[in-house]
């Protein structure tokens, strides 16, 4: 049984060698529209937005874009950014319902990651593992939902400007952090962004993140980190984690447009396997 996997572009991995993986792009709207696909020069977008003083926002893929990405798939899994921050999940669910009405016998299931960034790719990897094991569609769905209950997303940000401008966090918190030069460390909790610590300096930031990881049950296993012009920060975290958990399977990747827009320069997003996460109650349909 071959599965087709579709993710929205918040996963930060836009292409893979296999033809049965595809992404649908989110978009950044500023002086121009930036489509989060493989053709976009993300570094140029980041530079443009530094100099842009007007309003900016993001927009999600529509139902038609999801339907087009489904193509002619027979067994399809879709994965989206948390529905609490974007309409991507609702669009994907509507597309799935339309697709199954028009193609009786075919199956589509949409996972709400309740997160953004590398956690989506951990879900992709789990689906592939189930496929390789010969699991059928329903078994794969249940295994991935259970796996999702043991995933956690943390983040470390130098700027909260775009999150505040788009109503994702309190603007007063963003202003205070900017004035004091504080790096903010937090987590995706129940699909919402929660600010947890305000460490000063890179070493304190790294130690804070490692402590949060252990508190959430990380003991080695899969760890994916996406960064926006923050490779040094990400590698310092990798080294600290490997010092305690040498068997960690670490993956590092740059953010694409959507996550670069919200994480901003210097930001990192961390997804990991850990203990049971009560916030990952994925909606089923």
- The domain segmentation of the chain, as residue ranges, is 4-148, 151-273
Average pLDDT, the chain: 92
pLDDT at 179: 47
Query: Are the C-beta atoms of 205 and 233 separated by less than 8 Å?
Result: yes
Distance CA 79, CA 86 (A): 13
Q: Flag whether pLDDT at 284 surpasses 80.
A: no
Mean pLDDT score, 212-225: 97
The closest alpha carbon to 224, from 180, 267, 269, 193, belongs to 269
Could you read off the pLDDT of 30-58 as tens digits, one per residue?
999 999 999 999 999 999 998 898 899 99
Write down the architecture of domain 151-273 according to CATH. Answer: 2-Layer Sandwich (3.30)
**Which two three-digit tokens encode residue 77?**
């899994």
Indicate the range of 18-32, 63-77, 180-194, 211-225 predicted with least confidence: 180-194
Task: Report the interhelical angle of 231-244 vs 202-215 (nearest 10°).
Answer: 50
Rounded Cα–Cα distance for residues 45 and 191 (Å): 27
Mean pLDDT value of segment 269-280: 95
Bridge partners of residue 186, in order along the sequence = 155, 195
Q: What are the strands of the beta sheet with 192-197, ordered from one edge?
A: 192-197, 184-189, 151-157, 268-273, 222-227, 249-254
pLDDT of residue 20: 93
* Dihedral pair phi/psi, residue 141, rounded to 5°: -55, -50
Selecting from 3.40.710.10, 2.30.42.10, 3.40.50.10170, 3.30.60.50, what CATH number does the domain 4-148 have?
A: 3.40.50.10170
Please count the CA atoms within 13 angstroms of the CA of 246 that sit on its side-chain side: 0
């Amino acid at each position: 049984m071959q599965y087709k996997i579709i993710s929205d572009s918040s996963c930060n991995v836009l292409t893979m060698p296999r033809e049965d993986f595809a992404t649908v792009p989110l978009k950044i709207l500023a002086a121009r529209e930036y489509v989060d696909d493989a053709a976009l020069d993300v570094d140029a977008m980041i530079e443009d937005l530094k100099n842009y003083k007007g309003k900016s926002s993001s927009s999600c893929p529509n139902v038609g874009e999801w339907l087009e990405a489904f193509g002619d798939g027979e067994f399809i899994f879709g994965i989206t950014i948390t529905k609490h921050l974007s309409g991507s999940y609702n669009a994907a669910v509507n597309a799935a319902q339309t697709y199954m009405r028009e193609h009786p016998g075919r199956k589509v299931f949409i996972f709400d990651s309740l997160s953004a960034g590398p956690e989506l790719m951990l879900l992709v990897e789990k689906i592939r593992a189930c496929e390789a094991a010969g699991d059928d569609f329903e078994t794969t769905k249940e295994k991935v939902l259970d796996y999702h209950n043991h995933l956690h997303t943390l983040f470390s940000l130098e700027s909260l400007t775009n999150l505040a401008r788009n109503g994702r966090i309190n603007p007063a918190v963003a202003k205070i952090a900017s004035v004091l030069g504080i790096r903010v460390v937090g987590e995706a909790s129940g699909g919402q962004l929660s600010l947890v610590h305000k460490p000063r300096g890179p070493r304190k930031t790294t130690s804070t993140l490692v402590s949060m990881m252990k508190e959430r049950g990380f003991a080695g296993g899969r760890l994916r980190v996406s960064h926006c012009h923050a490779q040094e920060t990400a590698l310092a975290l990798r080294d600290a984690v490997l010092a305690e958990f040498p068997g960690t399977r670490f993956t590092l990747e740059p953010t694409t447009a959507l996550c670069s827009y919200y994480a901003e320069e210097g930001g990192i997003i961390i997804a990991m396997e850990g203990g049971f996460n009560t916030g990952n109650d994925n909606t089923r349909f």
